[in-house]
Amino acid sequence: MDGGEAVNIDLSQVRRLGEELGATPKRVEGAIKFAVRDAKRKAQAAVRVELVDATGLPRAAVKNRVKALRGSAGAWAGLNDVRVSTAYKRPRQVEGGVKVGPLVVKDAFVMRTKSGALVVMKRTGKGKAAIAPATIEIRDKVQPRLAARARDLERIFVDKFDAEVTRQLRRVR
């Protein structure tokens, strides 16, 4: 998936930790599955919160930009520019541009598509066809915050894994 940032956890170190605790490979894999399921949910929620907090966009606009990673504990966040029309509904033409939600897009106009949707467009040059959808850049705002959150999620995952392996080992003894 291009245009995004992944928050991912390296599972090879976790397997080594499980062996150091004296767990069998089967128990280690069971604990990993348990911790991965929990970490995926927490990673997805954390990335969604970071996107909303950093950009100020509504939750509905970032909901589809966060995906859980298959086969690992983590989440992916799409950091491509967000179309203004996707982020906010009901654009209004005002003097000097378009007001949509709390945002004012200068030198933009509202256009109705063939399907009837209202889209905020901007001129990209001279001529009739030199227009493009107006966008909001989010990558620069979000990337540093996701890097900091990744370290927190890794610690949470390892703690959850450690607790699960310890619980399984206590049950056996």
Average pLDDT over residues 113-136: 90
Name the DSSP letter for residue 21.
T
Whether residue 53 is found in the same domain as residue 17: yes
Whether residue 34 is found in the same domain as residue 101: no
Whether residue 47 is found in the same domain as residue 96: no
Number of domains in the chain: 2
Whether residue 9 is found in the same domain as residue 64: yes
Domain containing 101 equals 84-135
Whether residue 10 is found in the same domain as residue 71: yes
**Chain-wide mean pLDDT for the chain?**
82
Whether residue 99 is found in the same domain as residue 66: no
> Is residue 173 very low, low, confident or very high in pLDDT (cuts 50, 70, 90)?
low
Average pLDDT over residues 35-53: 83
Q: Is the pLDDT assigned to residue 1 strictly greater than 50?
A: no
Whether residue 20 is found in the same domain as residue 69: yes
The pLDDT, as a whole number, for residue 85 is 87
- Flag the least confident range among 38-52, 64-78, 84-98, 103-117: 64-78
Whether residue 70 is found in the same domain as residue 143: yes
Whether residue 166 is found in the same domain as residue 110: no
The pLDDT, as a whole number, for residue 56 is 86
